[in-house]
Amino acid sequence: MTKLTNAAKLYIGANILVGMISLWWAATQWDGHDFLRAAAYLTLAIVASPLKVKLPGINSTLSVNYVCILVGASALNAADAVVIAIACTLMQCLWKVTNRPRFFHLAFNVASTSTATVLCFAAYHLDYYGLLPHDVPIRLFFASLTYFAANTLSVAGIVAISENKGVATVWKENYLWTAPQYLVGAMVAGLLKSYDQWVSWEWSLLLLPVVYVIYRSYRIYLGRVEQERKHVAEVADLHLRTIEALAVAIEAKDETTYDHLRRVQVYATEIAKDLGLAEEQIRALNAAALLHDIGKLAVPEYILSKPGRLTPEEFEKIKIHPIVGAEILKRVKFPYPVVPIVAAHHEKWNGTGYPRGLKGEEIPIGARILSAIDCLDALSSDRQYRRALPRAQAMAEVASQSGTSFDPQVVSALLRRHTEMEELLRVPAPGDTRLAKPNRVERGSAPAAGFENSAPERTGQGSNAPSFTSMIAAARQEFQSIHELTSELGSSLSLDDTLSILSARLKALVPYDAITVYMCDGDELVPQYVAGTDSALFSSLRIPMGQGLSGWVAENNKGIVNGNPSVEPGYLNDSSQFSILNSALSIPLCGPRGTVGVLTLYHRKRDAFTSDHMRLLTVIGPKTALTLENALQFREAKQSATTDGLTGLPNSRSLFLHLDSEIARCARNDTTLGVLVLDLDGFKAVNDRFGHLTGNKLLQEVSQALRESCREYDYVARMGGDEFVVIMPGIHPDDLALKTQTLQANVARAGRLTIAENIVGASVGAAIYPTDAATAEELLAEADKQMYSAKHANKRRRFAMVETPAPPVYASATIQ
């Protein structure tokens, strides 16, 4: 009783009061002179009361005991007739029922039946019937109609109040069609009356089988009607749920889509009932609430998901969706007016809406309801461009647009009932099922290296299962993420940049604690990119093919899910080399030229990766491998263009670029820059005596000696042939001479190591920026000039040492 509205409580109370008055009046009419006959009819009524049928569509039953009530009203006094009616009601409500009625239900039914019986008695015993010949059939006809009207209207009233519908609507839909049954009952009561007059009332009891035949016939008929009704309801429910599933799938842009549709549905239905819309209009509004934005299929995704304000051109594109939606739904041919609601749900009360600029009541009532509710829910939901408003604030915003954007009548109903409708939304919707979430099933220890024996992922249903809308949204997000990742990979030719992009983007798809990209280098895997936990350990590894987890993946060209990361350094047999990570996901990177390397992700948790993660890596693996191949080829080409192939030093092209950059930096910082040009002495003699291979080896040894002689930030390059350049930023002019002597000594030592003779030296020329020159060409020219001067001086010194004759040696002699 506490769940009933005040109107329902008042209505029930009034019916019970009228029933009590009817009982009091009937009690005053009792005379008790025909007690045996009354008892017989009462027994007949009690026996007939269980013969009841359920009325289709409502929670109500109809029993053939109304025949006994008509007989009692026509043949007995009012008190006896009411006693029969009350006994029939109690038997009908309490005998073989699934759910026993509460006391107030029982009191209402007894009171309504008592009132209807008294009115039936009064209708039968009106005085003016005596003016008509053969008045009994006429009396029974009007008495049965009176009982029918009084009994059904009282029940229709409480149903209408409970469901917020019109009394006439409920009565016509659920009770009017039962009127012929009451007329049949009047015929049976007439037969009993005739037996009473022609033979005796005892013989009328033999008509009980006739009453049972009527019951069976009506039960079979109503059973078929109920089956047809259920079939129609099931088809309608299937139709609606098909529409709902389609709408949710189309609009699955985020996690809130299902809840958004349900909120709009509940609000729209309740507001429509509050405004007294017909059942057909409510059905149309219910379908439109699901499908009103189906036209957004024609709007580009980047506009729908744009985080900022739309441009005028983008808004014009948005404005086509009601028209497109209406065109789509025209092909469905709904039995109720859905299309006009969808076409007009962005129209405004003052005529400033779109697409047609309808105004006021030109807009269909369903569209007026939907536009206000859709705006309220949009304001109270998160969007890309703003956070959700509190429900009260959102309601105030909608109320402020009453009479401009929205129908004042709709806004008034929203203000009055939005709190109540929020309570309705807390109750789970019937049939609200969500797709099951794949759950990880705990298993035992992973195999030593994981390998392909990792336990397969199992699925099951749980209370935390996501909705299918979230799975659709996740699929769209996955596609977008993979598209962005592959696009960015394809736009980079730098190996370091490529791997950095891969690491950053991949973490959004597959969470990990560490990532390593190993590149194939002969029979080994060399870490090319390492980030995250234990990065120092993985950076130091050189994994032979077939060894460790990643080596196995590279050799067998198979992926591993939840392998054991500890086996990566395990082949070292070094107990100090171990990892704190507990699971690994690894795939081979296979390009057009074969396996390029291995991509391995590591995680602290056991069984952290799933087969779905493997699927994602497998999707991006070929693109990653191709990108890495391209990056490696680009790096090789770049190195060949700027690096000397024999010595590994920068070549002349790279030298000029670097020298220009250093001069610009020294000019900004007002510092000096030293340039040394070095040419080997005796190099031609090495080639002539020992061959060019030894000469090449000499150049490599000299290059290594020059690098070791310089500071970390000095720059050594090979100009060509046996000529080298050393760039020394910030060196003091007084230190150049000492640096020159060091370089000459190291070059001579490299020569002795190569050919075991002391025939190799170096001529060195120096220039200082800005003292000697201001440009790269001038600096090199000045240093080259000084180098040739030194070279000529060295040649003259060596020539002088060869051409100067030895002093004569005189032998001592004795003259005899």
769-791 pLDDT, tens digit each: 988 888 888 999 999 998 888 88
Q: Is the pLDDT of residue 20 over 50?
A: yes
Residue finishing a domain among 617, 639, 661 = 639
Whether residue 491 sits in one domain with residue 615: yes
Query: What's the CATH number where 780 sits?
Result: 3.30.70.270
Angle between helices 776-803 and 652-669 (to 10 degrees): 120
86 — pLDDT class (breaks 50, 70, 90): confident
Residue 372: give its domain's CATH number: 1.10.3210.10
Same domain, 628 and 659: no
Q: Are residues 52 and 175 in the same domain?
A: yes
CATH number, domain containing residue 63: 1.10.1760.20
Mean pLDDT over 229-258 rounds to: 63
Contact criterion met (CB below 8 Å) for 728 and 743: no
State the Cα–Cα distance between residues 133 and 141, nearest whole angstrom.
14
Closest CA to 172 of 58, 326, 330, 272: 58
pLDDT surpasses 50 at 815:
no
Residue 564: strand, helix, or coil = coil
Question: Which pLDDT score is estimated for 532?
Answer: 87
pLDDT at 363: 93
- Give the predicted TM-score (pTM) of the model: 0.42
pLDDT at 218 over 70: no
**Tell me, what's the pLDDT at 364?**
92
Residues 162 and 302 in one domain: no
> What percent of the chain has pLDDT above 90?
10
Alpha-carbon gap, residue 153 to 106, rounded angstroms: 17
Find how far residue 750's CA is from the centre of its chain: 67
pLDDT of 191:
66
Q: Do residues 600 and 584 lie in contact, with contact meaning Cβ atoms separated by under 8 Å? A: yes
Each residue of 723-744: b (16+ CB within 10 Å) or e? bbbbbbbebeeeebeebbeebb
219 lies in a domain?
no
Residue 246 lies in a domain: no
Per-residue buried b or exposed e for 778-811, using 16+ beta carbons within 10 Å of the residue's own CB: ebbebbbebbeebbeebeeeeeeeeeeeeeeeee
Say if residue 604 is in the same domain as residue 670. no
**Is 493 within a domain?**
yes
Domain co-membership, 13 together with 161? yes
Same domain, 685 and 570: no
Helix H or strand E encompassing 43: helix 35-48
pLDDT at 253 over 50: no
In this prediction, residue 234 carries a pLDDT of: 73
Closest CA to 369 of 444, 268, 296: 268
Residues 634 and 675 in one domain: no
Are 554 and 681 in the same domain? no
Banded pLDDT at 422 (limits 50, 70, 90): confident
Q: Which residues of 474-494 are buried (b: 16+ CB within 10 A; e: fewer)?
A: eeeebeebbeebbebbeebbe
How many structural domains is the chain composed of? Answer: 4
Q: Does residue 631 sit in the same domain as residue 700? A: no
Place of tokens 């008929």: 221
Q: How far is CA 579 from CA 44, 529, 538, 571, 576, in A?
A: 91, 17, 9, 13, 10
Q: What local confidence, expressed as pLDDT, does residue 75 receive?
A: 76
SS3 of residue 724 by DSSP: strand
CB 629 within 8 A of CB 495: no
Question: 160-193 b/e with 16+ CB inside 10 Å = b?
Answer: bbeeebeeebbbeebbeebeebbeebbbbbbebb
Q: Report the pLDDT value the prediction gives residue 61, as an integer from 0 to 100.
A: 56
Indicate whether 80 belongs to any domain. Answer: yes
Nearest to 116 by CA among 79, 84, 154: 154
- Structure confidence at residue 736 as a pLDDT band (50, 70, 90): confident
Which tens digits make up the pLDDT trace of 332-359?
777 788 899 999 999 999 999 988 899 9
User: Which residues touch 640 (CB under 8 Å, ≥6 apart)?
Assistant: none
DSSP 771: T
Q: What angle do CA 303, 305, 310 make, to 5 degrees?
A: 45
Query: Which residue, 331, 333, 384, 375, is CA-closest to 353?
Result: 375
pLDDT tier, 438 (very low <50, low <70, confident <90, very high otherwise): very low
Decide if 238 is inside a domain: no
Polymer length in residues for the chain: 816
Given pLDDT bands bounded at 50, 70 and 90, which one contains residue 572? low
pLDDT surpassing 80 at residue 193: no
Q: What is the pLDDT of residues 114-152, one digit of tens each?
A: 898 888 888 888 776 555 555 677 788 888 888 888 888
CB atoms within 10 A of CB 660: 13
Given this model, what pLDDT does residue 791 score? 86
Q: Quick check: 675 and 783 in contact, CB under 8 A?
A: yes
- 518 and 550 Cβ atoms separated by less than 8 Å: yes
Domain range spanning residue 550?
469-639
Tokens standing for residue 780: 């090199």
192 confidence band (pLDDT: 50, 70, 90) = low
The answer to whether position 237 is within a domain reads no
CA 588 – CA 598 distance, rounded (Å): 5
Q: Is the pLDDT of residue 469 over 70?
A: no
Residue 395 lies in a domain: yes
222 pLDDT band, cuts 50/70/90, is low
Task: Mark whether 628 and 658 lie in a shared domain.
Answer: no
Q: Where does residue 693 rank: exposed (0-12), middle (13-18), buried (19+ CB within 10 A)? A: exposed
Our CA angle for 120, 121, 122, nearest 5°, is: 90
Q: Which of 182, 204, 226 finishes a domain?
A: 204
Q: Rounded CA gap, 523 and 543, in Å? A: 9
pLDDT, tens digit, for every residue of 301-341? 656 766 667 777 778 888 888 988 888 888 877 778 889 99
Do residues 380 and 389 touch, judged by C-beta distance below 8 A?
yes
The answer to whether residue 688 is domain-embedded is yes
- Min mean pLDDT across 159-163, 197-201, 264-268, 506-510 is at 197-201
Comparing 336-345, 393-402, 640-649, 734-743, the range with the smallest average pLDDT is 640-649
Which of residues 204, 219, 240 is at a domain's end?
204
Same domain, 588 and 668: no
The yes-or-no verdict on residue 256 having pLDDT over 50 is no
Sign, CA torsion 798/799/803/804: negative
